[in-house]
């Protein structure tokens, strides 16, 4: 299969995608109405390449795999995937996606990098094959962070999802596949809850920007590169895991620890969370997970120390 | 100054503190009504020591620096700091703190590891010197995560805060000092907002436990060990930083991306957040911060790769 990819819209995210694909040896056809975008791409590649090299480039990786085109129709021709990363304006995206839909090959999948719009909004002007429109939401910097949220719309076909998923995975991405539409997808819902609570705290003089950041980087943030919030709390419950945690600390869901009201901790929610943790642990005992966490934390702390990211300086600014 | 510390309550958190202090060469006097706690401490030290060694032990560090006492009064005698880490039950903590307050030296500072109670609740039975009661909230595992939230109550003296801060810092901790009481302090407010949103998503069938965790560990979680949520968004705004971000993406605060309603983005909130980011950046340009982030991310990703924490296995469980 021809695996070339079109990158439409070459701002920070589009340039990040093009850099990522070129680093994996995949040919990229780029288009952006702004002639300055070629320069941004050049800078992004220069900056990203040593990092990508350190983590391992793909076969035939080369900055020369990115080709700019003067017309969008030319760029998307003969590609397996079109990755649209234009500014977050719905009408603009609808128009671009409709143009792409008309110009690209029949078997091509069209993905939008949008962080907010749903496929059902984005594909409303696509007349040719709306079933091949998906959201492929990356995280900045795209050439380093592995996650892509692959989100279907009500009309999206399983084939389009499968094709997008295998193209992303072949390029080294980690794919989180959502077969139904959820506002904000998953990661941004979680990020946004934290961000809004932080804004409330600043608005109410409860914490400064620096205190908010330090509370994450010197604490829970060090764990989240290793274990998500659910598995982290599975370990907070001691040997009893998430079941103990929910049964004993359930009442703290009523505490005013955030402005967000918690859902009712029904037996069915409790079981879904407990079973989910056990499934995710995949046979690893709490003791195994503790060892894994400590090994990972030590390695991360050592790495940060070697980089000179000590906390002492930051901390002094904070008082 | 005599720097010995008393650890009262030797569950997971108390044993974590004792291990941390012993690893920094500080003498620890421990007490717990459960005779099994000596065994838990032994296991904690065995498990933690190689990690602490890798990160650098303090002078004269030794597991033999921890002494168990049969009576709480004996344990707290002649210590500079008493760290109370009993179960999260208010009456129990009030009673213990009152006993400690009566038994310890005049210049001793008394800190509670509570994650939820305020100093004003905790110190209500302390008759001798309530001005020396503080919250010193650590993060699990205490012997690895640097953060301690040091929280004052309305009666707490500046001297007690200063003493606690310098004792913690001398032991290698990063201190986030809060001179006024806020429910949930800072880190737990942010963690709890994310946790509650996650519970809502499970309750509504919007995401599984594994999807929630993967959305963090393969994405934003990798950044949070380096930069908190505020500085992360400072970089998301491109060269314009947080000012551009808030001015252009401000309207997304009205989006249903979480169940938590955002505060009104007033000019004064906007400025507080923008100025806070500029202050935290401390002269580093966006380009400097991007390089710093990429260098850190690459190092963390390389570290995780060397540890065998590849995403491929986890991902397969996730679909």
Task: Single out the residue of B309, B227, B20, B224 nearest to residue B139, CA to CA.
Answer: B20
Given A178, A231, A296, which is nearest B213 (Cβ)?
Answer: A231
Contact A190, B193 (CB under 8 A): no
A58: DSSP letter: P
Q: Which residue of A has its CA nearest to B312?
A: A174
Asked if omega into A87 is within 30° of 0 (cis), the reply is: no
B27-81 per-position pLDDT tens digit: 999 999 999 999 999 999 999 999 999 999 999 999 999 999 999 999 999 999 9
Calculate the alpha carbon distances from A243 to A240, A270, B125 in Å: 6, 8, 34
Ramachandran bin of B92, using left for φ above 0, alpha for ψ from -120 to 50, beta for the remaining angles: alpha
- Other beta carbons within 10 angstroms of residue A174's beta carbon come to 21
Which string of DSSP letters, residue by residue, matches B7-57? EE--SHHHHHHHHHHHHTT--EEEE-S-TTHHHHHHHHHHHHHHHHHHH-P
Cβ distance B145 to A222 less than 8 Å, yes or no, reads yes
Q: Distance between CA atoms of A201 and B263, rounded to whole angstroms?
A: 9
Q: What are the structure tokens assigned to A226, written together?
A: 């290793």
Residue A239 confidence (pLDDT)? 83
A144-200 pLDDT per residue, tens: 999 999 999 999 999 999 999 999 999 999 999 998 899 999 999 999 999 999 999
Q: Which pLDDT belongs to residue A319?
A: 35
Q: What is the CA radius of gyration of chain A?
A: 22
Residue A178 burial by Cβ neighbours in a 10 Å radius (0-12, 13-18, 19+)? buried
Dist. CA B164–CA A52, nearest whole Å: 44
Q: CA–CA separation, A18 vs A12, rounded Å?
A: 10
| pLDDT confidence tier of residue A310, bands split at 50, 70 and 90 | low
B-chain residues within 8 Å CB-CB of A299? 303-304, 306-307
Q: Do B145 and A290 touch (CB under 8 A)?
A: no
Distance between CA B209 and CA A190 in Å, rounded? 13
Contact flag A144-B294 (C-beta cutoff 8 Å): yes
ipTM of the complex: 0.94
pLDDT digits (tens, 9 = 90+) for A237-292: 778 899 998 988 888 898 888 999 999 999 999 999 999 999 999 999 999 999 99
Give the model's pLDDT for residue B129. Answer: 96
* The pair of three-digit structure tokens given for residue A187, joined into one six-digit string: 């990661």
Structure tokens that stand for B304 in this block: 């995780």
Does the pLDDT of residue A318 top 80, yes or no?
no
CA pair distance B84, B5, nearest whole angstrom: 10
Q: Which residue of B has its CA nearest to A224?
A: B221
Q: Which CATH number fits domain A187-316: 1.20.120, 3.40.50, 1.10.287, 1.10.1040?
A: 1.10.1040
Between the alpha carbon of residue A44 and those of residues A17, A20, A52, A71, A278, the distances in Å are 10, 10, 12, 22, 41
The CATH superfamily of B5-178 is NAD(P)-binding Rossmann-like Domain (3.40.50.720)
Take residue A248 and report the two structure tokens written for it: 């004993």
Domain boundaries, chain A: 5-178, 187-316
Q: What residues are paired with B174 via a beta bridge?
A: B147
Instruction: For helices B209-217 and A229-236, give the axis angle rounded to 10 degrees.
Output: 110
Contact A303 B300 (CB under 8 A): yes
- In the numeric block, the tokens 């491929």 are attached to B312
Identify which of B144, B177, B203 has the shortest CB distance to residue A301: B144
* A212-236 residue pLDDT tens: 999 999 999 999 999 999 999 999 8
Phi, psi of B299 (to 5 degrees): -65, -40
| Percent above pLDDT 70 for chain A | 96
**Of A44, A119, A114, nearest in space to A86 by CA:** A114
Q: Which residues of A touch B223 (CB under 8 A)?
A: 145
pLDDT at residue B177 tops 90: yes
Q: CB-CB: which of B213, B258, B266 is closest to A184?
A: B258
Classify B227 in phi/psi space as left (phi over 0), alpha (psi -120 to 50) or beta: beta
Give bridge partners of residue A106 from the DSSP assignment.
none
Mean residue pLDDT across chain B:
93
Cα–Cα dist A115/A149, whole Å = 9
DSSP helix/strand/coil, B292: helix
Dihedral angle at the C-alpha atoms of B96, B102, B103, B108, nearest 10 degrees?
90
CA angle A136, A141, A144 (to 5 degrees): 90
pLDDT reported for residue A237? 74
3-state DSSP call for residue A178? strand
Exposure string over B173-195, b if 16+ CB within 10 A, otherwise e: bbbbbbeebbebbbbbbbbbbbb
B134's enclosing H/E stretch is strand B133-138
Of B255, B262, B298, the CB nearest to A183: B255
Across the beta sheet with B28-31, what order do the strands follow? B66-68, B28-31, B5-8, B81-84, B109-112, B133-138, B147-151, B174-178
Structure confidence at residue A309 as a pLDDT band (50, 70, 90)? low
pLDDT score for A249? 80
**In angstroms, rounded to a whole number, what is the distance separating the alpha carbons of residues A218 and B172?**
12
pLDDT at position B319, please? 35
Subunit contact A147:B255, Cβ cutoff 8 A: no
Chain mean pLDDT for chain A: 93
Q: Residue B264 CB: number of other CB atoms within 10 A?
A: 9
| Mean per-residue pLDDT, B208-221 | 96
Q: How do residues B294-313 score in pLDDT, each as one tens digit?
A: 999 999 999 999 988 654 44
Q: Write down the pLDDT at residue A2.
A: 62
Query: Which band of pLDDT confidence, cut at 50, 70 and 90, is reported for residue B284?
Result: very high
**Mutation target among A175, A182, A268, A298 for the B interface, most CBs of B within 10 A:** A298
For residue A252, the model assigns a pLDDT of 85
Residue appearing with tokens 């143009």: A99
CA distances from B59 to B65, B220, B265 (A): 12, 37, 50
What radius of gyration do chain B's Cα atoms show?
22
What is the secondary structure of A227-289 as a DSSP string? S-HHHHHHHHTGGGHHHHHHHHHGGGGGSSSSSSPPPP--HHHHHHHHHHHHHHHTT--HHHH
C-alpha distances in angstroms, B220 versus B82, B127, B213? 37, 47, 11
| b/e map B290-309, b = 16+ CB within 10 Å | bebbbbbbbbbbbbbeeeeb
Helix A209-217 vs helix B229-236: crossing angle, to nearest 10: 110
């Amino acid at each position: 299969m021809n695996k070339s990819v079109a990158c439409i819209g070459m701002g920070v995210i589009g340039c990040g995608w093009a850099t990522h694909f070129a680093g994996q040896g995949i040919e990229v056809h780029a288009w952006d109405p702004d002639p300055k975008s070629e320069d941004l791409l050049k800078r992004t590649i220069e900056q990203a390449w040593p990092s990508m090299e350190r983590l391992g480039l793909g076969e035939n990786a080369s900055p020369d795999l990115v080709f700019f085109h003067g017309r969008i129709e030319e760029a998307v021709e003969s590609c397996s995937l079109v990755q649209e990363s234009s500014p977050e304006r719905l009408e603009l995206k609808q128009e671009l996606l409709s143009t792409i839909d008309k110009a690209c090959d029949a078997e091509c999948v069209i993905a939008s990098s949008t962080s907010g719009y749903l496929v059902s909004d984005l594909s409303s002007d696509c007349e040719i094959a709306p079933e091949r429109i998906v959201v492929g939401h990356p995280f900045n910097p795209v050439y380093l962070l592995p996650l892509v949220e692959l989100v279907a719309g009500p009309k999206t076909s399983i084939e389009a999802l499968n094709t997008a998923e295998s193209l992303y995975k072949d390029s080294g991405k980690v794919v989180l596949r959502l077969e139904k539409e959820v506002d904000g997808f998953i990661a941004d819902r979680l990020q946004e809850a934290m961000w809004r609570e932080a804004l409330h705290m600043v608005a109410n003089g409860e914490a400064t920007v620096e205190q908010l950041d330090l509370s994450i980087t010197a604490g829970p943030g060090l764990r989240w590169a290793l274990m998500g919030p659910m598995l982290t709390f599975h370990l907070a419950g001691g040997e009893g895991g998430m079941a103990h945690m929910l049964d004993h600390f359930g009442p703290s869901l009523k505490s005013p620890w955030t402005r967000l009201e918690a859902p009712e901790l029904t037996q069915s929610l409790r079981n879904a969370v407990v079973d989910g943790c056990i499934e995710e642990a995949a046979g690893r005992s709490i003791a195994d997970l503790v060892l894994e966490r400590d090994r990972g934390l030590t390695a991360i702390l050592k790495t940060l120390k070697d980089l000179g990211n000590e906390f002492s300086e930051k901390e002094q600014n904070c008082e």
